[in-house]
Each structure stands twice: as C-alpha cells, then as structure tokens.
C-alpha cells in the first residue's frame, strides 16, 4: 500500500500505472475470497488451473509492489526537498506522514465503528482463533501501528480494518527512516541499514514459512525488504545508467518474469524469496520510467502523452492516483455487498455483477474521499505545519 503524497502537481505516469495494477490485484484478491470466480466466464483453464484464480490468489504481491513504490517516493521526495538525507527535518517528515495518513485512518475507523454499531457482521469484531478481542483494542492497534501483530496473534479480527496491517508495517519502517538518515553519516552506513532488511526479511519469512499465523505475510520484517529496495532504488537512480533500464527488452523481460512468477504458485509457497524477487522487478520497472540525465526528482516528471496512449493506461493511472483511498476503503463496499448478498447464495452470474458493483462503488467512494476530504486536509495540515515552522 502506497501512502505517499498524492497532491503533487506532476506525477510519474509509469509509477501510477504500477500502483493501478497493484490495487487491481488487491481488489480482485479480496473479492475472490468470499465470491469465488472460478465458476464464472472469467475462469479460463490454463495448465489445469483457473487463470482468474491464479491472478486473484496472489494479491499480496500487489502490496509488495506498493511497498517498493512507497519506499522509492519517500526517499526521492526527501532528497528533492532536503538534497541530502543527512539534512532531513524529522519534524517535517513526520508531519507529512501524519497529514497523508491520519485523515483517512480516522475516517475509516469512524465508518467501520459506526457500521458495527448497526450490527452489520463484516464490521463487528470476530474471534477467528477463538479469542475475543475488544473494539477498543482493535482501534488502538490501528492507531498505534500494530494491526499486523494483532492479526498474527488473533487472526483477521475485524474484516474491514484488516487492511491496516500493511499501514502498520510501512509506517513503523518510516518511524525509523529519518532517524537512520541523521544517525548514519555515510552513504555506506545507510546502504548497510537498507541491506540488513533486504537480507533479513527472506530469513524471517523462511523461519515462519507456512505458519497458520501467516507471520510470513504480516510481520514487520516480512515486508521491510520491499520498502528498503524502494529506498535503495531512489538512491541508485542518480548513480546508474538509466538508459539500460529503459530498454524495451529489459522492461519486457521484467514484466514477463514477474507475471510468470506471480501465476506460478500461491504466495504461501513462494513468498520466502518471491517477495524479494517481485520487489526487485518493481524496482526495475520504476527505473525504466525515469528520465535519463535527470535528478532523482525525475520521478515527478510525467512522460509526454503517456496518458493519451490508451484507455487502459489512463484507467490504471487514475486508479494509481487514488490507490491509498481505494486500498483503505474497499472493504467497506465489499462488506456491505456481503451483507446484501451472502456469498453462499451468489450464482456465477451474480458474482460478475457484484464484481462490477464492487469495483465501481469502491472507486466512487475513494474518489469522493480523496477529492473532498483527504487531499484538502492533507494540504491544510501541510500548510499549517509550514506556517508554524
């Protein structure tokens, strides 16, 4: 999940496309859990397995892509603002995170708690592991960034709030990020800081491989390598030959390799090195979307006419632009659909209609929240912080 600032005047279209692809994978994954799509016309058998199932089952790799993009953007924005990570302003950095994250987080908690008070099951705490967890504890975990640990210990306690596991992982990393920038005085030391997570995360996933707690997915360290690879990509962008990564062959091979690996097997079987591989592939695609001979801030430059090259890219760019709101609030829509049409009663034709309703409803809700709430509040908080400084 990328929670970088979405209010920049200029955007990198390729990064928005990647975010758009990532959020589509997440949405399909979560829809396919209650409403299995294997019996619909979307299901095409390839090598003895349903293609839509192969696509939907690994939506967590979409989150891996989000983490890489977020690490890249956070680092590149920091370099663009302070020119050196050693000069990062900790207070300003944290306030920028708060401005982007907190408005949507508070709204999500308000919506879920309100719907829960109406007695709607998807918004009420459950006990999947047989242990009751109070609403107060769930809200506290959401606000203090340990929802992932709650899920590891007690299961997916609250359906609509479970998505906050990734926010917990990402923001804990960013709590340490500016402190590491200031405390590690040389580029080599900072590289070792990032390298530690790149090496340690696969070991962590291997140690927790296949566990019922799914710590290999939700643990902090389980995803820190993806974020670290994104950060390292931003640092390398000014020091390597971008022209190599912009070659069609390099980009094409990366896309084909990532696609084949994604479809190969369930993430439960491939995550140990799979997360790192998907993260590295995402990094290559990001580097390919930067302009050669530009500073790192080139990530904010939109390649000319890219959005005019087709409806698909334009749609993915738009989804990428609102990916944070789409990610946080999509289970609100899906939860309401589950209340209206219980998954056990849905026919194959109804599932396809519900999928369209889910996608359209999620986008409309996310667009409204971004346009009239999160973006204005983000700007207002940033302006107040700038004035106070």
User: What does the pLDDT look like over 27-80, one tens digit per residue?
Assistant: 999 999 999 999 998 888 877 789 999 999 999 999 999 999 999 999 999 999
Which residues does 238 contact at the CB level (< 8 Å), separation at least 6?
295, 296
**Position of tokens 């889910």?**
358
Predicted pLDDT at 308: 53
Provide mean pLDDT across the span 305-322.
Answer: 80
CB atoms near residue 65 (< 10 Å): 28
Domain range spanning residue 377?
13-388
The predicted pLDDT at position 49 comes to 82
Inside any domain, residue 5: no
**pLDDT of res. 156:** 96
pLDDT (tens digit, 9 = 90+) per residue, 253-282? 999 999 999 999 999 999 999 999 999 999
pLDDT of 56: 96
Q: Which tens digit of pLDDT belongs to each residue from 217-251?
A: 999 999 999 999 999 999 999 899 899 999 999 99
DSSP labels for 325-353?
Answer: HHHHHHHHHHHHHHHHS-GGG--HHHHHH
CB 246 within 8 A of CB 295: no
pLDDT of res. 167:
98
Query: What percent helix, strand, coil does the chain show, rounded to 5?
Result: 75, 0, 25
Query: Given pLDDT bands bounded at 50, 70 and 90, which one contains residue 296?
Result: very low
Q: What is the mean pLDDT of residues 200-207?
A: 98
**pLDDT one-digit tens code per residue, 123-135:** 999 999 999 999 9
Mean pLDDT of the region 334-347: 97
Q: Would residue 8 count as lying in a domain? A: no
Q: How confident is the model at residue 302 (pLDDT cuts 50, 70, 90)?
A: very low
3-state secondary structure of 4: coil
**Each residue's pLDDT tens digit, 89-142:** 999 999 999 999 999 999 999 999 999 999 999 999 999 999 999 999 999 999
Question: How far from 311 is each of 226, 232, 308, 314, 315, CA to CA, in Å?
Answer: 30, 32, 8, 5, 6
Query: Does 7 fall in a domain?
Result: no
Q: For residue 6, is it within any domain?
A: no
Residue 303: pLDDT band (50, 70, 90) is very low
Mean residue pLDDT of the chain comes to 91
Q: Is residue 83 part of a domain?
A: yes
Q: Judge if pTM exceeds 0.85.
A: yes
Domains in the chain, number: 1
- Tokens 């929240």 locate to 369
């Amino acid at each position: 999940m990328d929670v970088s600032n979405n209010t920049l005047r200029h955007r990198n279209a390729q990064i928005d496309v990647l975010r758009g692809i990532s959020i589509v994978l997440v949405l399909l994954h979560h829809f396919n859990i209650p409403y299995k799509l294997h019996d619909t016309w979307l299901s095409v058998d390839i090598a003895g397995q349903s293609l839509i199932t192969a696509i939907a089952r690994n939506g967590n790799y979409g989150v891996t892509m989000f983490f890489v993009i977020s690490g890249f953007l956070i680092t590149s924005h920091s370099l663009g603002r302070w020119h050196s990570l050693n000069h990062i302003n900790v207070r300003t950095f944290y306030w920028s995170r708060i401005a982007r994250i907190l408005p949507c987080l508070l709204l999500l908690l308000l919506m879920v708690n309100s719907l829960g008070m109406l007695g709607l099951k998807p918004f009420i705490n459950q006990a999947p592991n047989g242990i009751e967890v109070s609403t107060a504890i769930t809200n506290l975990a959401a606000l203090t960034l340990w929802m992932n640990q709650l899920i590891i210990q007690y299961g997916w306690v609250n359906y609509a709030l479970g998505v906050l596991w990734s926010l917990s992982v990402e923001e804990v990393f960013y709590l340490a990020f500016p402190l590491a920038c200031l405390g590690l005085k040389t580029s080599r030391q900072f590289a070792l800081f990032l390298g530690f997570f790149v090496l340690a995360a696969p070991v962590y996933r291997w140690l927790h491989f296949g566990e019922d707690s799914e710590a290999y997915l939700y643990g902090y360290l389980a995803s820190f390598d993806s974020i670290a690879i994104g950060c390292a990509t931003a640092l390398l962008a000014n020091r390597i030959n971008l022209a190599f990564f912009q070659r069609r062959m390099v980009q094409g091979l990366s896309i084909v390799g990532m696609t084949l690996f994604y479809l190969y097997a369930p993430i439960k079987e491939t995550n140990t090195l799979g997360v790192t591989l998907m993260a590295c592939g995402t990094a290559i695609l990001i580097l390919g979307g930067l302009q050669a001979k530009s500073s790192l801030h080139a990530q904010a430059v939109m390649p000319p006419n890219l959005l005019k090259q087709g409806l698909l890219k334009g749609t993915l760019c738009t989804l990428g632009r609102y990916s944070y709101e789409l990610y946080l609030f999509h289970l609100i829509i899906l939860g309401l659909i589950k209340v209206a049409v219980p998954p056990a009663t849905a026919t194959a034709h109804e599932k396809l209609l519900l999928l369209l309703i889910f996608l359209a409803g999620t986008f409309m809700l996310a667009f409204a929240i971004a346009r009239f709430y999160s973006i204005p509040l983000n700007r207002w908080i940033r302006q107040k912080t700038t004035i106070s400084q």
